[in-house]
Structure 1
Amino acid sequence: MTETIPPRAPRPARGPSMADVAERAGVSTQTVSRVANGLTNVEPATRDRVLQAMQVLGYRPNKAARALRSGRFRNIGITMFTLSTYGNMRTLDGITVAAAAAGYSITLVPVRDPTQEAVSSAFTNLVEQAVDGIILLIEAHLVDNSEVELPPGLPVVVVDSGARADYPVVDNDQTEGARLATQHLLDLGHDTVWHVAGPEGSYPASRRHESWRDTLQAHGRAVPPLFRGDWTAASGHALGLEIAHRPEITAVFAANDAMALGIMSALHESGRRIPQDVSIVGFDDMAESDSFWPPLTTVHQDFDLVGQRSIEILLEEIEHAPIVPVRSIVPVRLVLRASTGTPPHAP
């Protein structure tokens, strides 16, 4: 019995090569290579002619081959716990915009569980994705655990963390922001300020909590018991119902705007007026915070600048040489709106 061998499928047509582009543009292949790799030692008119030839022919540079030649993939790895919080999303947006402007792409690997194993697995995943460096957006003390090994041999920048001294850190000024919020309420005449903190294990939450406490103590004021939320408006609402039934509470500093929104909703439902009965300050300055009822006094964080600085520091390490680990702190400011006022007993 004779076996019939099916005909081999025809090979796909070869795409345009660098030589094809060079021929059409009337330049050497070395010139095409320089344009494809973004080098600047090409006359503008020649560059335009090469780019036009690439477009007409449908030429796409081979990124893999380029990476082999240059030793760079022009890809930055990002790992983070959650995409659901306002701060993380805004910071990630700032990172991606800055990376794109520098000609780098982004590979995102989320970490679902705040465990050493999960973080280490994310690092391994990113290294396998061929990245030139990594930015960590992990709001947890876990990163500072000496048992957590960050990727060896790769530039790393950490956002919203900071006890480790062996990697650069970029962060908004959490301490100053909480001080400004607490000080503002004290200056209005409130005897003390209650605090709705973020979740345990979060660096922003712990820094804001510590600064709130230190500011009260510096002024000789009582430090009330802490309320603990989880960054969500739902947790703020649940705590706000308790706050609403405690007439001694006249000033509240919420660790983020979402929880402040939940607190305000609960106060409205309970018949407590803002700011006549209770003053509220948030933290973040969400785009919607000026549309709260009433508009929310809050601490403005520059997430775009945090993202930009993270990329700048990382690219300095990638493209030049390792730098001395630094802490880059981005200034914050207090935005005054209608949710704060003098306490009910004030004249």
Structure 2
Amino acid sequence: MTTAPPAGGRAPSMAAVADAAGVSMQTVSRVARGFDNVSPETRDRVQQAMTSLGYRPNRAARALRSGHFRTIGVIMFTLASFGNMRTLEAIADAAGAADFTITLLPMASRTKDGVRSAFSRLQEQAVDGVVIIIESHVMDTAEVVLPDGVPVVVIDSTGTTDHPAIDTDQAQGARLATQHLLDLGHETVWHVAGPAMSYSAGGRRAAWEATLTDAGRTVPPVFEGDWGSTSGYRAGLEIARRPEITAVFAANDQTALGILRACHEVGRSVPESLSVVGFDDSPESDSFWPPLTTVHQSFDEVGRRAVSTLLGQIAGTAAVAATDLVPVYLVERASTAAPPS
């Protein structure tokens, strides 16, 4: 049996597999497409030849028989954020474990045209379902139209769409962060928020405010941010110069990083005179100085649940559309302490 891969680095052909296994190309085709009219001995020989040569059956051919392409489309705005990258990686891993591939359809911009362009390209792709990683207000304002009959799961959504949505429990995370600072003895907690149009930022902001209100504490003005360390730094310069501010909840870890830098430059000690809590538990947060107390959210679990829900829809076994919230928890490190005496 010939087992050497073809020269020139080209993908092995069905003819090469047939030659290696000593069978016809029709037999190779039947094995590749999963037909059962092949003897077990011949099937084993063909599969061994496929493995030896690195042959991969044509997915399009299998789709003709099964009605599925075993491909998931992923529409997302940016690959730059930590959360999006971790979620995408988890989607790819979960899809691969189920013998699905992913097709990435990035949006060029958050404009209506950018969103519509990404969704229009979806019409041209051979996918069995779609995971959307853009905030629902972006999708709604663009008035996009999804292909009929294509299963969809939305990540990071208000839950007002007609499709299942997966998200971390943003509100619970903000409550944990705010209550932690109150429990340490701080009179109130200030907040450096995320972008005004962000659903996630809005949820964290609303829960921060509600926690203070429920505790009978003053709700101070919000510092507006944009998820970035630069906006955190700008807010941090003012915070560091105001001794009445003793506790800050930052919308995410990058914002908290900017606050810590500003405090260091101004000479405001953390946590001795100012406590800071972030949100995300990014891999670097334990290496901030001081190590950052933060809310852990599992982007990996979000990606896995999105794929599981989507595959359930594809198989026709999924429940009705609903929002599935992944739990969060507080990670206490050295950036928080009781307020100064």
Q: Same fold (TM over 0.5)?
A: yes
Matches within 5 A, 1:121-136: 121-136=117-132
Superposition deviation, residue 74 in structure 1? 1.3
Task: Look up the match of 2:164.
Answer: 168
Of 177, 194, 203, 1:181 maps to 177
Task: Look up the match of 2:3.
Answer: none
- Determine the C-alpha separation between the residues in 1 that align with 2:174 and 2:35: 46
Matches within 5 A, 1:1-347: 15-17=13-15, 20=18, 24=22, 29=27, 33-34=30-31, 36-37=32-33, 49-57=45-53, 59-145=55-141, 147-320=143-316, 323-345=319-341
Structure 1 contact 250–277 (Cα < 8 Å) conserved: yes
- Determine the C-alpha separation between the residues in 2 that align with 1:127 and 1:98: 24
Structure 2 letter corresponding to 1:74: R
Structure 1 contact 18–33 (Cα < 8 Å) conserved: no
- Determine the C-alpha separation between the residues in 2 that align with 1:222 and 1:40: 72
Structure 1 contact 107–126 (Cα < 8 Å) conserved: no
- Determine the C-alpha separation between the residues in 2 that align with 1:102 and 1:20: 28
Residues 326 and 163 of structure 1: is their aligned pair in 2 closer, same or farther, counting only changes over 3 Å? closer
- Determine the C-alpha separation between the residues in 1 that align with 2:38 and 2:328: 43
Structure 1 gap ranges (5+)? 1-11
Structure 2 letter corresponding to 1:332: V
Which TM-score applies when normalising by structure 1?
A: 0.87
Structure 1 letter corresponding to 2:262: A
Residues 321 and 40 of structure 1: is their aligned pair in 2 closer, same or farther, counting only changes over 3 Å? farther
Superposition deviation, residue 145 in structure 1? 4.8
- Determine the C-alpha separation between the residues in 2 that align with 1:238 and 1:291: 21
Residues 254 and 21 of structure 1: is their aligned pair in 2 closer, same or farther, counting only changes over 3 Å? farther
Residues 46 and 205 of structure 1: is their aligned pair in 2 closer, same or farther, counting only changes over 3 Å? farther
Residues 232 and 16 of structure 1: is their aligned pair in 2 closer, same or farther, counting only changes over 3 Å? same
Structure 2 gap ranges (5+)? 1-9
Structure 2 contact 166–306 (Cα < 8 Å) conserved: yes
- Determine the C-alpha separation between the residues in 1 that align with 2:37 and 2:237: 66
Residues 40 and 320 of structure 1: is their aligned pair in 2 closer, same or farther, counting only changes over 3 Å? farther
Structure 2 letter corresponding to 1:312: S
- Aligned partner of residue 157 in structure 2, secondary structure: coil
